[in-house]
Amino acid sequence: MIDNINYADIKVASVFGRYITNGSIQDVLANLNESFRVETIGKSVLQRPIKSITIGNGEKRILMWSQMHGNESTTTKAILDLLNYLKINEQESQELLKNCTLKIIPILSPDGAAAYTRINANEVDLNRDAQDLTQPESIVLRETFNLFKPNYAFNLHGQRTFYNVGNTNKSATVSFLSPSVDIERKLTKPRKIAMQIIVAMNEMLQNYIPGGVGRYDDGFNLNCVGDTFQSLNCPTILFEAGHYENDYDREIVRHFIFNSLITAISTISFNTISNFKYEDYFKIPENGKQFYDVIIKNIQFYNPELKDLGSVGVQFTEVLEENKVVFKPKIEKVGALNGFFGHKVYDCSIESQLTELKQETELCKLVNSKL
């Protein structure tokens, strides 16, 4: 189905970058047509509205929510692209939605989104509050789940740049998980169904990012929303939007997430889940944690006084400044970095790369601080 979609035509270009808040999406929601039911389903700790959008009248109900962690916004952009696609392609939308009803919460934690933090305004991780339900945002999601009674749940997140696929030098650009229902990680029927849908998405994504799809660790934690919903016999899928080369704003990755959403919805709507084997889910390599944003090798060629450092591993910290996310380098490790990869590598023994490094003022200042 995605082969017939010109993504450039449906991408909501007015919403971009990493800092996405209620204000960022309000115009998009306001311009949806009467086919979309936009509601305020609750309020955050700081009384910001939590919105939902419902479309379709089919019997198969799909609930999805994004920005449960306010600083994980890529999937929200993909949701807006999905809504725009459904809005401007009425014939395809009718075909896709005649068997499905979608309920979408684009920003579950609007306070976290505004502050660009993982936690909410009470400093609680909402994805560890599925049992205690101490936070208003957690209660909104659970009440929506109980009222909507979804047949499928999509838990949409973003992941850090240090994840790789297996032990390879491939960045985990997109990762998935079919959450466990118990400590033994039992393969229940709903969990297998979630795995089959993930296999469908993985097969599609291999055409775009071969070797770039990872599988998230399935250790059981009932305090996590995905584990809770899966244990309630609702096939639940965790989506993780990761890093693609030079795509720190994740404008390329949002396309991959959009494609994944379309693939998952169409697999459900068109009754093709049985075409995919849940066993193939386990062929997707588990995520590793072997990437740095920057690796500087042979640092002695940059400055002989730093010869004892060997290599330097740098990770970017995301900082909100004047309503924009900036990436501040921080040295995470020095010494031998065998078995690690860099999204950007400077080998100071190569003159051209040394020259390039010296043009990176902030990186040089950071390295010089080790003198």
Amino acid at site 53: I
Alpha-carbon distance of 371 to 359, in angstroms, equals 19
Ramachandran assignment for 77, one of left (phi > 0), alpha (psi -120 to 50 degrees), beta (any other) = alpha
pTM of the model: 0.97
Per-residue pLDDT, averaged over 248-260, amounts to 98
In this predicted structure, what is the pLDDT of residue 344? 98
Per-residue pLDDT, averaged over 351-357, amounts to 96
The confidence band for 31, taking pLDDT boundaries of 50, 70 and 90, is very high
- Give 309-313 contacts, CB < 8 A, sequence gap 24+: 309/334, 309/335, 309/370, 310/334, 310/335, 310/336, 310/337, 311/335, 311/336, 311/337, 312/367, 312/370, 313/337, 313/340, 313/342
The confidence band for 94, taking pLDDT boundaries of 50, 70 and 90, is confident
pLDDT at 370 over 80: no
Neighbouring residues of 109: CB distance < 8 A, sequence distance ≥ 6: 44, 67, 68, 69, 70, 120, 126, 137
pLDDT tens for residues 197-206?
A: 999 999 999 9
Alpha-carbon distance of 49 to 299, in angstroms, equals 51
Q: Do the strands 60-65 and 37-43 form a parallel or antiparallel pair, or are they unpaired?
A: unpaired
pLDDT tens for residues 123-164?
A: 999 999 999 999 999 999 999 999 999 999 999 999 999 999
Per-residue pLDDT, averaged over 82-94, amounts to 90
Q: Encoding tokens for residue 231? A: 């244990």
In this predicted structure, what is the pLDDT of residue 369? 87
Per-residue pLDDT, averaged over 163-170, amounts to 97
CB 79 within 8 A of CB 69: no
Alpha-carbon distance of 163 to 340, in angstroms, equals 11
Q: Encoding tokens for residue 345? A: 């590598």
Element (H or E) spanning 269, and its range? helix 253-269
CB 284 within 8 A of CB 115: no
Amino acid at site 309: L
Amino acid at site 329: P
What mean pLDDT value characterizes the chain?
96
pLDDT tens for residues 305-351?
A: 888 888 999 999 999 999 999 999 999 999 999 999 999 999 999 99
Residue 23 in 3-state DSSP? helix
In this predicted structure, what is the pLDDT of residue 316? 97
In this predicted structure, what is the pLDDT of residue 33? 94
In this predicted structure, what is the pLDDT of residue 226? 98
The confidence band for 361, taking pLDDT boundaries of 50, 70 and 90, is very high
Alpha-carbon distance of 271 to 268, in angstroms, equals 5
pLDDT tens for residues 277-298?
A: 999 999 999 999 999 999 999 9
pLDDT at 67 over 70: yes
Which domains can be identified in the chain, with CATH numbers? 2-289 (3.40.630.10), 291-368 (no CATH)
Residue 127 in 3-state DSSP? helix
CB 325 within 8 A of CB 116: yes
Q: How far does the chain reach from its first CA to its final CA, in angstroms? A: 56
What's the residue count for the chain? 371
Report the percent of the chain where pLDDT is more than 90.
93
Instruction: Give ∠ CA 311-315-316 in degrees, rounded to 5.
Output: 140
Alpha-carbon distance of 230 to 188, in angstroms, equals 9
pLDDT at 114 over 70: yes
pLDDT at 371 over 70: no
Alpha-carbon distance of 3 to 19, in angstroms, equals 30
The confidence band for 2, taking pLDDT boundaries of 50, 70 and 90, is confident
In this predicted structure, what is the pLDDT of residue 7? 95
CB 126 within 8 A of CB 138: yes
